[in-house]
Amino acid sequence: MSVDGWNTVLVLGGIRSGKSEFAESLVSDAPVVRYVATAPEGDPADTEWAARLAAHRARRPGSWTTEETAGDPRRLADVISAAEPNETLLVDDLGGWVTVLLDPAHQPADDTQTISELAAAIRGCLARLVLVSPEVGLSLVPTTPVGRAFTDALGAANRAVADACDAVVLVVAGQPSWFKGAPAVGAAPAVAPMPAAAPTPAAVNGVAAEPTPDLVALPDVRNATPPRPVPVTEGDTAWSTPTMALPVVATGLVIQPGMELPMPDEYTGPQAIERLATLDVPGAGLGVLERLVGFAAGTQGTATPAPWTSVRVLLLNGDHAGGAAAGTRPGESARRAGQTRAGRGALARLAAECGASLQVVDAPTAGPMEAEPALTPEQVDSALRYGWRLAEEAAEAGVQLLVLAACGAGTEAAAAAVLAATAGAEPPAVLGRVVTDSGEIDDAAWMRRCAAVRDALHRTRRSSRGAADVLADLGGGDIAIATGVLLGATARRIPVMLDGPVGVAAALVSRDLAGQARHWCLLADDGGDPAVKLAADVLGLTPLLDLRLDLGEGSNALVALPMLRSVLALAAALPTHPSLAGGEPDEDESDAAADEEPEFAEPEPAGPGPTSTEPEERVDPSGQRAG
């Protein structure tokens, strides 16, 4: 949980204030969350309410479980009281709970006693608990008896729950303000400078890595707030201009837990999927690829999303020393990176076929995680901001989709370590088999990788599992840069296609920094990789395809990209079926159909000469007709 030191948190906010998204970000680092839904289903004819519920369900990761309490308002207190210490509960929201409480079906009842029982259950709760509730006390007094009863009951419930919780936060226009139990991340002075050090150039398999650009020092602040836009002055690069959510370079803000970044549009996704059912197609439709249209609609903010025309592939080249790279030929990653720079190899050729730009990004070599931290804290901070700047640069260049690729040695073991630290995975279960250049299985190398991950987890068993600590202890430079890319892309509303262990490991780490980042991620195929499969389940990402390709991280996504583009183009171009549009077929279509000959016309009789009684016309070589 992003708020450390507190067991129970009440998140208040008005309608469309972002309170639910903020509450979800607080529990984004929990491997399993029990989502307690309090609102009733409502009138089936109320499509707007159904769309709201659908949007809430769509944001929940696949690893979360859902429990309904709308049938009995008193059951909420029982669920909270029975929660175990290792559980995480998210109750959304108390407004729906009060609605059920006041329902005539549950009356007569002592509402005050029921609210007191809920407050007592919260005080004694052993689990991590986040409750969401609408703050209605700032509006006018309702003019109807039912409205006044609701606001009075909800106000009493909010006061009782706020008193019982360890922390209370009010979300206004997406910006959280803490009124009780301020988070520990805000304890540092707002102007205290944090030293920044760029990752130092290091030899990668014997080939010198290109230096990472220097980054400016950033002050420590609790939350990222959008400042006023500032003009670009002479000497500034285009990608150092402020972003809409967290302008790292221009304003000196720091990347840290609890950032509030944008979410995809919660309405256009369901609207786009509903529109697909009305299109004039001869078959049943797009099948599982309907999810792609919904994702593109949410990230583009329109029910008719366009195919991505400007795509950039970021190839992260960073090795991991020690047992993590067991079974990898020395110099292989540098050879792959050089091959890509020269426009050769699978990734470069696929990028050319897709019309995608390709950028090779060298990351610092990570130390042997079984013996020492992979990176220093300063390197982690610089790598995160460097990744953010890469996303900034892409946004300024008009890129519509980013694809994360990687080619470093030991990336699979580093991703497995991150997955074990953040989601409780067993390293042998998520480490894929080691295949040599000749196609043989190297079990000895696989065992050395497992041992390296095991020893690294043992070495860091008492360390914090915060994002920066996981990256420093286990992740390394490529995963740290990828995490920064995800955060920067989220801030600029650019979707990111993941394709392998580095990408999903970065997505897992980013949950602690900004829970919104995973909603901008797309997974085309898991490639049969056990780490990617498990991470996708934790992140709530469902692969669109099941091709089981293994062409290298990034290449698999580019194979699928043309088909994904075709699906989006088709969904945007097809008209509504005439029977649903309420109109008649076009006149031209009707005339054309009338002019067509019957499908089974009688064949003309065959014979040696013409069947007409008229004399046959002949044409001599000069072009004159003869009778």
Q: What DSSP character marks residue 617?
A: P
3-state secondary structure 224-266: CCCCCCCCCCCCCCHHHCCCCCCCHHHHCCCCCCCCCCCCCCC
Residues 6+ apart with CB under 8 A from 2: 25, 26, 28, 29, 183, 185, 257, 258, 512, 515
Dihedral pair phi/psi, residue 310, rounded to 5°: -115, 110
Residues 6+ apart with CB under 8 A from 245: 224, 226, 259, 260, 261, 262, 490, 491, 492
CA 3 – CA 527 distance, rounded (Å): 35
CA 233 – CA 406 distance, rounded (Å): 35
CB 129 within 8 A of CB 9: yes
Query: CA torsion 161→164→169→173, rounded to 10°?
Result: 0
Q: How far is CA 393 from the centre of its chain?
A: 20
353 as an active site residue: the answer is: no
Half-sphere exposure of 93 (CA within 13 A, CB side): 22
Place of tokens 């901070």: 381
CA 57 – CA 62 distance, rounded (Å): 10
* Pairing outcome for strands 175-180 and 167-172: antiparallel
CA 455 – CA 436 distance, rounded (Å): 24
Q: Say which of 370, 553, 604, 614 is annotated catalytic.
A: 553
Residues 6+ apart with CB under 8 A from 299: 264, 265, 305, 493, 495, 520
Instruction: Indicate which residues carry an active-site annotation.
Output: 553
